[in-house]
Amino acid sequence: MDTKQRHSILQSIYSFLARLINIHDDSDAQATINNIEKSTEFRGDNVWILFCAIIIASVGLNVNSTAVIIGAMLISPVMGPIMGVGLSIGISDNDLLFKSLKNLLIMVGISLVASSIYFLLTPLNDAQSELLARTRPTIYDVFIAFFGGAAGIIASSRKQEKMTVVSGVAIATALMPPLCTAGYGIGTGQLLYFLGAIYLFFINSFFIALATFLMVRYLHFPPKAFLDPVKAKKVRRSLLIFSIIVIVPSVFTAVDVLRETSFNSQAIKYITDIDKSDMFKDVQIINSKRTYTTKKQTIALTFVGKSLTDDQMASLKKKLGEYGLEKANLEIRQTSGNIDINTQAAMLQTFIDKKELQLQQKDSLIQCMEEKLQVEQEKKLVTSEQLAVEVVALFPHIQTFSIGESEEININSQKKDTVSTVNIKWGKTPTKQENEQLHKWLKARLNTKKLHIIND
């Protein structure tokens, strides 16, 4: 293949890929800008819709109902101002930027007030799993927000119908639940819940806006025209400074979230492998706790059983390096002698859980064996009671027959296999065609792949 042919093939591949990922042709920049500008408006019906959505989401979080939370996210108008921030930076529209930020702050304020009042009045004050999930952001929230925002602006820029995608983005990015969880923190006086939820809302909002900004620039949306070049330069400079101010801390927080997620993941693997290790079969982990902060990471393990030897203690610390946890502080607690009632209860529950798992595995094995036995019994029942009648009808010259199972061993591989063996006594010498018909019929009737027929 010469250089010209290779160039032609590469050009064809490039053209195909360019057509495949092209999103410029079907975009409508001006209509998209108009729609997003309109969605940033916050007055009248949007105020009432937001209030209703906040109450619905708060109820969903309070009763731990995922379906109710999803319904609240679908009707929420919070996405508009956030996408407006990204769009305004992308097209250098200073007026739209401040309008979007103002309306976003108003929305956040109303959401916090409404959710705080609800959680202040509701008799259900326990933090359910749906609430707790919004107080500890992970790197996955960053990915979801960024790619959700990208999908949202791509869908919004299309000329055809895009409501399904936009609705999906509203669910995936989950902007409402963190606001309601922050209200829960205010209403119940739990500052850490409030800070964690607001932090998650900031991450979601920022990365949706960032994705919107990047896609707007990629799609070459026309920038806003300014009559005064000096003013235009000042606006671009202020937008750049604002972008840097927002981006820089978010990078640090994203890196910290990534490190925390990695720490928790590796710590769980570390603890699980220790619990399964034969070296620690005389002891058992009855409690484990992982604590992560920027300055200190701690893994606390509580053992019960024989006291850990020096070799076991050294192995525990050495294994930290195998999981990338060299900087983690390992705290080991051992319970021996008089054990308090709570520890005994935890030990008993652990033993019960393990025994239940073993019983489930045994029950599964017994059920499998019973099913195989039933199949074999049905097979034998068919062979002994029905096969004689069918053989006489199909092959009247057969006088006697017997069926059994034999073990076949491959001399080379030493592999064993079970083979159905049939002994036949004919009244007269069968023809080749009769032998072939009998062989095919018995294989089908006995539902077996291997069959040996012995003619007496």
* DSSP secondary structure code for residue 308 in this structure: P
Report residue 305: phi and psi, to 5°. Answer: 120, -150
User: Considering the entire predicted model, what is its pTM?
Assistant: 0.55
In 3D space, the residue among 102, 72, 89, 110 whose CA is nearest the CA of residue 33 turns out to be 89
| CATH class belonging to 266-342 | alpha beta
In what helix (H) or strand (E) does residue 425 lie, and over which residues does it extend?
Answer: strand 416-426
**Helix axis angle, 139-156 to 191-218, nearest 10°:** 40
**Mean pLDDT highest for which of 139-143, 378-382, 423-427?**
423-427
Per-residue pLDDT, 171:
61
pLDDT of the residue at 162: 53
Residue range 386-455, CATH number: 3.30.300
Cβ neighbors of 409 (< 8 A, separation 6 or more) are: 415, 416, 417
- Per-residue pLDDT, 136: 60
> What value does the mean pLDDT take over residues 87-116?
86
Sign of CA dihedral 320, 323, 329, 330: negative
More confident residue, 90 or 250: 90
Round to whole Å and give the CA distance between 324 and 326.
6
User: What's the confidence (pLDDT) of residue 129?
Assistant: 52
Which of 376 and 380 is assigned the larger pLDDT?
376
pLDDT reported for residue 357: 73
Nearest to 178 by CA among 264, 78, 286: 78
- Binned at pLDDT 50, 70 and 90, residue 340 comes out as low
Q: Which helix (H) or strand (E) holds 380?
A: helix 341-385
pLDDT given for residue 347 in this prediction: 60
- pLDDT tens-digit series, residues 183-195: 888 888 888 888 8
> Residue 32's pLDDT band (boundaries 50, 70, 90)?
confident
Query: What integer pLDDT is reported at residue 2 of this predicted model?
Result: 67
pLDDT of residue 38: 81
Return all residues near 167 (Cβ < 8 A) that are at least 6 apart.
74
Angle among Cα 425, 428, 431 to the nearest 5 degrees reads 100
271: confidence class by pLDDT, cuts 50, 70, 90:
confident
Q: What is the pLDDT of residue 343?
A: 59
Whether pLDDT at 384 is above 60? no
At 123, is the secondary structure helix, strand, or coil?
Answer: coil
Q: Is the dihedral of CA 80, 86, 89, 90 positive or negative?
A: negative
AA letter at 52:
C
Pairing of strands 297-305, 283-292: antiparallel
Q: What angle do CA 353, 345, 278 make, to 5 degrees?
A: 50
Residues 229-234, mean pLDDT to the nearest whole number: 69
Q: Is the pLDDT at 9 greater than 70, yes or no?
A: yes
| DSSP per residue, 219-238 | TTPPPPP-S-HHHHHHHHHH
pLDDT given for residue 307 in this prediction? 79
149-171 pLDDT per residue, tens: 787 777 777 766 554 555 556 66
Q: Mean per-residue pLDDT for 13-36?
A: 75
Q: 433: helix, coil or strand?
A: helix
Identify the pLDDT of residue 383.
55
User: What confidence tens digit (pLDDT) does each residue in 35-52 have?
Assistant: 888 878 877 788 888 888
Show me where the domains of the chain are located. 20-225, 266-342, 386-455
State percent of the chain over pLDDT 90: 0
Query: Across the chain, what does the average pLDDT equal?
Result: 76
C-alpha Rg value of the chain to the nearest Å = 35
How much is the average pLDDT of 344-366?
70
Separation of CA 161 from chain center: 29
Which segments of 277-340 does DSSP mark as H helices, in order? 310-322
Determine the pLDDT at residue 250.
62
Instruction: Please say if the pLDDT value at position 381 is more than 60.
Output: no
* pLDDT greater than 50 at residue 276: yes
pLDDT higher than threshold 70 for residue 235: no
Beta bridge partners of 284: 304
Q: Determine the average pLDDT of the residues in 207-215.
A: 83
Neighbours of 42 (CB within 10 A): 22
What pLDDT is recorded for position 125?
Answer: 62
Please, is 299 exposed, middle or buried when counting C-beta atoms within 10 Å of its C-beta (0-12, 13-18, 19+)?
buried
Q: At what angle do helices 45-63 and 94-121 cross, to 10 degrees?
A: 40
pLDDT, mean of residues 345-371: 72
Sheet with 297-305, edge to edge strand ranges: 283-292, 297-305, 329-335
- CA 195-213-28 angle, to 5 degrees, is 135
For residue 336, what pLDDT is reported? 56
HSE-CB for 430 with a 13 A CA cutoff: 20
CB 156 within 8 A of CB 35: yes
Fold match, 266-342 / 386-455: no
Q: What is the DSSP string of 150-212?
A: HHHHHHHTBSS--HHHHHHHHHHHT-HHHHHHHHHHHHHT-HHHHHHHHHHHHHHHHHHHHHH
Mean pLDDT computed over 120-132: 64
pLDDT of 227 over the 50 cut: no
